[in-house]
Structure 1
Amino acid sequence: MSEPPPATPAGAGHEGGHHFELPRVRALLMHALPRFVEGVIAPVAVFYAALVLLGLNGALVAAVAWVYGGIIYRYARRRPVPGMLLLAAVGVTVRAALAAATHSAVVYFLQPTLGTLIVGISFLASVPLGRPLAKKLAKDMAPIPEAFLRHERVHQFFLRISLLWSMVLFTNVVISLWMLFNESIGMYLWFRTGIVAGLGAVGVGVSVWGFKRCLRHVNAEPSKA
């Protein structure tokens, strides 16, 4: 899988220093798709298949085995293990242990929902503080020049996007909790996954559209001496 093309460095072709070009969206999506399948779709399929065939304990073992299997595979192929995968391994181990101790699948799925709630609160709290969490995440994911990030229009954009993602995550939590306590585990797994994926897709779509619009305005500004 090819890596996304590098972003244009700060000041390239623009003396103002805030010029920036977004990597091609298709390249970003193709880069993210395998990670989405491995981290979101496949674990649900593995857990549900094992739940039907082996029961709750078998499903918990299968979920843990899936994550650690991905780590072992990478080590065996001498590939780097992403930090997020290591964190996921720790998280799924704790969740599985608590669910096994309580004999409840609800406990297994409740924990990440509470984590989502905390992340949503973090996004929301970052807005009045003037330190948008969306900006921090964008810096982690792409080589965005500091001069571009310091632009007032860009800062305002990330404040709005942080607010948007707090709403997306809160909606995720409400839907997840309602389905977890009112529907079967099978219904929860598939319908909740589809709804959450749809919400995420809308959030990503609005974020990318807004960022491209912001880019056009900032890059169109005249250069500063």
Structure 2
Amino acid sequence: MTVLLPPQAAPVTLPRLGALLRHATPRVLEGMVLPVAVFYAGLVLFGLYGALAVAVTWVYGGIAWRLAKGAPVPGTVLLAAGTVTVRAVLAGATGSPVLFFLQPCLGVFCVSMGFLFTAPLRRPLIQRVVTDLLPLPEHLLEHPRMRRFFVWQSVLWGGVQFLNASLSLWLLLSQSVQTYLVVRTSLVAVLLGGTGLVSVLSLRHCLRRLGR
């Protein structure tokens, strides 16, 4: 789908849904599914401290693999490595796996507030996320229809992430670690996957209307 722009500007083309899914799936597996699976396997086989060691080894092993291939290491991966190290040290020092998972829950709460509080601003947080994934020309971002789209997306993602954090925190404090890992991973995959699909379809609809 192509949006018509002024003659001096190149058309903005949104990749097909299948291409977006192929692009996102490895990142979802690496960032969400496999770390939980690795931690859970370590917990079953080696107990809490073994699971913490396996989780840290997994993250730093991913960095070493990228360096060995000569591939750049994203800043987000380095940040995740530092974060998981601190979480593992705190959980290991206290003997409580709850501390290992508490920080991500609180982080999701902060993200949800960021989406909601920046919704009425000229450049809401969700706009920065979208333009990182799909660069859009400035004059298109200023269009009233696009601004309404970003307000709607800010409210949508703010509400979804608040629900995600609330349910995750409840599971963490009321269920076993095993139940938390299985249920939360499945819940987040369905919740964020469905919301992501709604966002992509909404963006396609918005760009199509602008291209008329």
Q: TM-score normalized by structure 1? A: 0.89
Provide the residue aligned with 1:86 in structure 2: 78
Residues 1:213 and 1:9: Cα distance change in structure 2 (over 3 Å): closer
Of 48, 53, 65, the match for 1:73 = 65
Aligned partners of 1:113 and 1:176 also within 8 Å: yes
Q: Distance in 1 between matches of 2:63 and 2:4?
A: 36
Of 98, 101, 108, the match for 2:100 = 108
Of 111, 122, 137, the match for 1:119 = 111
Letter of the 2:139 counterpart: A
Aligned partners of 2:141 and 2:147 also within 8 Å: yes
Q: How does 1:178-197 map to 2 (within 5 A)?
A: 178-197=170-189
Q: Any gaps of 5 or more consecutive residues in structure 2?
A: none
Q: Distance in 1 between matches of 2:3 and 2:120?
A: 30
Shift of 1:178: 1.0
- The answer on 1:37 being equivalent to 2:29 is yes
Q: Distance in 1 between matches of 2:24 and 2:73?
A: 16
- The answer on 1:51 being equivalent to 2:37 is no
Shift of 1:204: 0.5
Aligned partners of 1:10 and 1:147 also within 8 Å: no
Shift of 1:17: 5.2
Of 88, 93, 101, the match for 1:96 = 88
- DSSP-derived class of the 2:12 partner: coil
Of 206, 218, 221, the match for 2:198 = 206
Letter of the 1:91 counterpart: T
Letter of the 2:32 counterpart: V
Shift of 1:132: 1.8
Deviations 1:9-58 (A, max 9, x none): 983xx438595321122112111111111111111111011111111111
Residues 1:97 and 1:206: Cα distance change in structure 2 (over 3 Å): same
Aligned partners of 2:2 and 2:208 also within 8 Å: no
- DSSP-derived class of the 2:56 partner: helix
Shift of 1:216: 1.1
Q: Distance in 2 between matches of 1:179 and 1:136?
A: 31
Aligned partners of 1:149 and 1:155 also within 8 Å: yes
Q: Any gaps of 5 or more consecutive residues in structure 1?
A: 1-6, 221-225
Shift of 1:141: 1.5
- DSSP-derived class of the 1:79 partner: coil
Shift of 1:203: 0.9
Post-superposition, which runs of at least 4 consecutive aligned residues in structure 1 deviate over 3 A? 7-11, 14-19
Instruction: Give the percent of matched residue pairs that are identical in Structure 1 and Structure 2.
Output: 49
Of 155, 159, 166, the match for 1:167 = 159
Q: Distance in 2 between matches of 1:199 and 1:16?
A: 40
Of 131, 149, 152, the match for 1:139 = 131
Q: Distance in 2 between matches of 1:191 and 1:136?
A: 31
